[in-house]
Structure 1
């Protein structure tokens, strides 16, 4: 989708041609036709610029291009709210919210990877006194034989994510060393009770760094909710996107997987 495409389709769209004439003359018909009523409600926000129709800073989409815009907005398979936020920041068309909801409800990849049950809300924890004093750590995966080590700052909710090929304690310590070299040592680290986080290797490492290790209760995993919720969201969205990626030939996909980077993981976090 390019600006030139939008300009061309705008010029061909009968409703937008009428709307363009109305904006230029400032005279709305009485009564207002049904197809123009949504635009009439925001008439003071509409203008034209370089063969484009705008509502404020957003492009008014011709109906023929709405489907394409929706697919772009849902490209990474984020949920309804984030898809709406993304599209609202760039485009306007009547009933866009309903179109988004309908698209995601009928998205086969999202349906395939959605949880089978509704999780109970995670319990918020007390806010630390300043950034990077308390972090949460979790391991996501396996996702196509890869794992993601996630580290979340409890104060700012800033996420760090690293793709790793194995989840040994030694690998976890290596990646944490890289992260701590950039941000410094936190005072506390909260983890669940997977073996990589409760073994002697990580315990010794955290102790040598002066970091207090807090383990989430196996009977109350909500105590690590700061990192559990983003990790679950990232896992679902990554798996959903890979559902489409696997339509690409295996030789190309294997090359991509070997070159996963922090930036690529961040695409699924934002």
Structure 2
């Protein structure tokens, strides 16, 4: 098959701003669409002078996990054809280059207009706006250079240290309205990183959850290290860190059905508020119920409401608190045919994974309340 070029279509306004690798990939797709009637089922040879495409579209290679939305869409389109992707130097593709330089009429309307970056424009109170990202990217010396390379092509050989994280991802980077993207993640300029970290840390979610949330939407070099350092400097997070276990954890028998064994405990008081915590050991379903008193009657009333909704459990686990060892509570368990198991108080490790969820809830409440006190 002849080398691919932009034969009879003109670039839209949005396509003119594509990165170089995007334009080269779009040329392959456009050529295949042009000759669809001649090449569909039949083996074809696609020739390109852009070598990075061999790592993205070669049919004998797995599609990279991190890829821009348009590149992924084109990879899926090409997968319907039987083809071999071949690289040939640009000087050997003079006829295709000449065709790509032919004058065209006014560009057609964009058939697939680009939407907001990760829908940032639609958030009610975003930590940063797309306008901010573009403005600060244009002022950052490193990002300005990277954006230029994304549009015009990357230099050969080594680059300074500050550019290496970007060059190692060069086939996965794209540009949109002055903003740099890694796959579908926004590259946050240095001047906005602290503002983003503050928003991610709202509610004191901890290192693991902060990283997971950040990786869903954004990236910058050494982002994980920045998150770890941020949490290490947070006093509420450090004061609420769980202590090292004093004894080996004694695991409970694995439950085979939801709501068959429940673990209950109290958390608080926090600012005069106490919480009854109920955890299903099978599904890890968590119920956090505000209560005014820690009495057997209050526990029974709230458990009865849960049992009406979810059904009766086979076993209920608690500590030896007075609320759970009273005659009133024992009668409630016996009447409903529930086996009541008690564990030693102040030793959550004896209760296994479900009790660790109780401790996690307590810590989360403590961090939130402590953080509110210090704001």
TM range (shorter): 0.7 to 0.9
- Once the two structures are overlaid, the 10-residue window that deviates more, 51-60 or 146-155, is 51-60
* 2:252 is aligned with 1:119: no
Partner of residue 231, structure 2: 104
Which of 358, 362, 365 is the aligned partner of 1:231? 358
Quote the offset at 1:33 in angstroms. 2.2
Match status 1:78 vs 2:212? no
Cα distance 1:44–1:221, how it changes in 2: closer, same or farther (>3 A)? same
CA contact (8 A) 1:13 1:62 kept: yes
What's the TM-score, normalizing by structure 1? 0.83
Deviations 1:42-85 (A, max 9, x none): 22221123433211221111111111111222211122222211
Name 1:258's counterpart in structure 2.
Answer: none
Q: In the TM superposition, what is the alpha-carbon distance from 1:12 to its structure 2 partner?
A: 2.3
Secondary structure of the residue aligned to 2:290 is strand
Q: What's the counterpart of residue 46 of structure 1? A: 173
Equivalent residue, structure 2, for 1:169: 296
Task: Name the residue aligned to 1:251.
Answer: none
Per-residue deviation, 1:30: 3.5
| Residues 1:48 and 1:171: Cα distance change in structure 2 (over 3 Å) | same
Q: Which has the larger radius of gyration?
A: 2
Larger relative contact order (C-alpha < 8 A, sep ≥ 6)?
1
* Aligned 8 A contact 1:151 1:227 in 2: no
Counterpart in 1 of 2:368? Answer: 241
How far, CA to CA, are the matches of 1:221 and 1:99 in structure 2? 32
Q: Which residue of 2 aligns with 1:252?
A: none
Residues 211 and 18 (structure 1), Cα distance of their counterparts in 2 relative to 1, 3 Å cut: same
Tell me, yes or no, if the aligned pair for 1:46 and 1:55 is still in contact at 8 Å. Answer: yes
Partner of 1:65: 192
Residue 38 (structure 1) shift: 0.8
Inter-partner Cα distance in structure 2 for 1:35 and 1:191? 55
Q: Secondary structure at the match of 1:84?
A: helix
2:172–2:182 contact (8 Å) kept in structure 1: yes
Q: 1:209 to 1:49 in 2, by over 3 A?
A: farther
| Distance apart, 1:95 and its partner CA | 0.7
The TM-score, its normalising length taken from structure 2, stands at: 0.61
5+ residue gaps in structure 2? 1-126
The aligned counterpart of 2:279 is: 152
Q: Deviations over 1:167-199 (max 9, x none)?
A: 111111111122222211111111111111111
CA distance in 2, matches of 1:237, 1:220: 19
Structure 1 residues 220, 64: CA separation in 2 closer, same or farther (over 3 Å shift)? closer
Task: Give the CA deviation at 1:29.
Answer: 5.2
Contact map agreement 2:211 2:224 (CA 8 A) in 1: yes
**Structure 1 counterpart of 2:264:** 137
The question of 1:185 aligning with 2:185 is answered no
| Partners of 1:142 and 1:28 in 2: CA distance | 61
Q: How many residues align?
A: 247
* Partner SS for 1:89: helix
Q: Is the 8 A contact 1:137 1:227 kept in 2?
A: no
**Paired position in structure 2 for 1:256:** none
Deviation at 1:233, TM superposition (A): 1.9
